[in-house]
Amino acid sequence: MTRTLRLPFKNAAAKDVNFLVNNPKDGLTKAEAVATQTLIIAKNIFNSSGGDLVSAGDPVILISDTAALA
């Protein structure tokens, strides 16, 4: 199984922007993910085609599995 952390944001144009982090550390807490989102917005670390990131959504861990076809 593959685990991916999704950090969702809204930009100044009210468009969705998502950052995906492969293989986040085991035991990652929501508080740690939210603190990271807050830092990204406060420091204006990333930009998007719709302007600055202005708000953060709820972070989640996506779990996927791949199976070969017989």
Q: What is the chain's pLDDT, residue by residue, as a tens digit (70 residues)?
A: 899 999 999 999 999 999 999 999 999 999 999 999 999 999 999 989 999 999 999 999 999 999 999 8
Cα 16 to Cα 19: distance, rounded to the nearest angstrom: 10
Model pLDDT, residue 62: 97
Q: Which tokens hold the place of 65?
A: 């599995």
- Domain locations along the chain: 2-64
Rounded-to-integer distance, Cα 53 and Cα 18, Å? 10
